[in-house]
Amino acid sequence: MIKLIIFDFDGTLGDTRANIITTMQETMRVLGYPVAGEEAITATIGITLEDGFRELFPGLTERDILRCADVYRVLFERNRKKMVPKLFPNVKETLNLLKERGYILSVASSRQSVSLRGFLHDMSVEDCISYVLGADSVEKAKPDPEPVLKTMRELGIPPEESLVVGDMPVDIIMGRRAGTSTVGVTYGNSFREALAEAGADKIIDDISELLELV
Cβ atoms 175, 181 nearer than 8 A: yes
- Nearest by Cα to 116 from 82, 76, 150: 76
- 29 neighbors 35 (Cβ within 8 angstroms): yes
Distance in angstroms (rounded) separating the CA atoms of residues 50 and 98 = 33
How many whole angstroms separate alpha carbon 87 and alpha carbon 188?
11
Omega prior to 145 cis, within 30 of 0:
no
Residues labelled as active-site residues: 8, 10
Backbone angles phi, psi at 104, to 5 degrees: -90, 125
Cα angle for residues 145, 182, 103 (degrees, 5° grid) = 95
In eight-state DSSP terms, residue 30 is: H
